[in-house]
Amino acid sequence: MISKKVKSSYVATIGFFDGVHIGHQKLISFVSKEKAILEYYFDPIPTNCVAAPWCNAKEGDFNLAVFMGACNFNCLFCQNWHFKFLTKNLSPMVSIEELLKAINEKVHCVCFFGGDPGPQLPFMIEFSKRARKIKKDLRICLETNGIENKELLKEFAKISFESNGIIKFDLKFFDERLSMAISGVSNKRTFENFENLAKIDSKKLTASTLLIPGYVDEDEVFKIANFISSIDPEIPYNLLAFYPCFKFTDLPTTSFEQAQSCFESAKKAGLKNVRIGNAHLLS
């Protein structure tokens, strides 16, 4: 059981399952360093990781992909919304010992994603410490919406950065009103955490934005890119094509025109490493 001090940082762990509220108290009740709701698998390198273009992972090795079964956002466009089944059922519950046994000589890196890893950060910190003792050259990476408890995220980031790992922030929106309307949560802490981690090592950060038609246009991308550029113009920025999913099934995929105008907007903001990801989805 986590302490009251840590517990307070998980109040935002809320979700909806077919319109049914999943209370954060149920999820908080099991959060620990020794077990977590997750699924894992071996992903051959090269993978479809958002940070892959800026990673020096060796082809033929494997990424231990760890899908964390909770989230502190409730995005209407969620592309991994099946995490809600895991949260609702509190299953599969995986012990730290089981996950550690998955590390072998062919595992180059571990990447936590989801859902979002944030609600179960204590487990990830403990796992990462122990995993690095098993394999000293193991890289620890993270994909996140970025609203974790600030001190816990810093603790994880130090482990990750020391391992030469990469932390990828999903900067969904710049406008807080959009974040509240579409994801249900303020994005202020996301930008604060991004800036805080950049002070530790901006060279190990990347960012991405999903180009949602009608919501995330070149103006929104320019503001996000300008924020990143003001910190370090070398930070990689990946613009991702949207496809209809979850509650946004009535929207079209991202068009070539939208992707190109957003790309040019990000470059205009001063970023030097911009790319369009999932280009095969563009219409």
The answer, yes or no, to whether residue 31 has pLDDT greater than 60, is: yes
Is residue 145 a part of any domain in this protein? yes
CA distance 70 to 65: 15
**pLDDT-based confidence at residue 32 (cuts at 50, 70, 90):** confident
The answer, yes or no, to whether residue 17 has pLDDT greater than 90, is: no
pLDDT higher at 30 or 170: 170
CA distance 194 to 136: 26
The answer, yes or no, to whether residue 179 has pLDDT greater than 90, is: yes
Mean pLDDT in residue range 29-33: 72
Q: What is the pLDDT of residue 192?
A: 97
Is residue 220 a part of any domain in this protein? no
pLDDT higher at 58 or 98: 98
Q: How many domains does the chain have?
A: 1
Look at residues 176, 125, 181 and name the one whose alpha carbon lies nearest to residue 153: 125
Mean pLDDT in residue range 8-21: 37
Domain that holds residue 56: 4-170
Identify the residue whose tokens are 């920025």: 237
Is residue 193 a part of any domain in this protein? no
32: tokens are 């620990």
Mean pLDDT in residue range 133-161: 96
Identity (one letter) of the amino acid at 13? Answer: T
**pLDDT-based confidence at residue 28 (cuts at 50, 70, 90):** low
Is residue 46 a part of any domain in this protein? yes
Chain-centroid distance of CA 43 in Å reads: 17
Is residue 216 a part of any domain in this protein? no
Length of the chain counted residue by residue: 283
Is residue 178 a part of any domain in this protein? no
Is residue 186 a part of any domain in this protein? no
The answer, yes or no, to whether residue 22 has pLDDT greater than 60, is: no
Mean pLDDT in residue range 127-152: 96
Is residue 134 a part of any domain in this protein? yes
Bridge-based pairing of strands 205-211 and 139-144 is unpaired
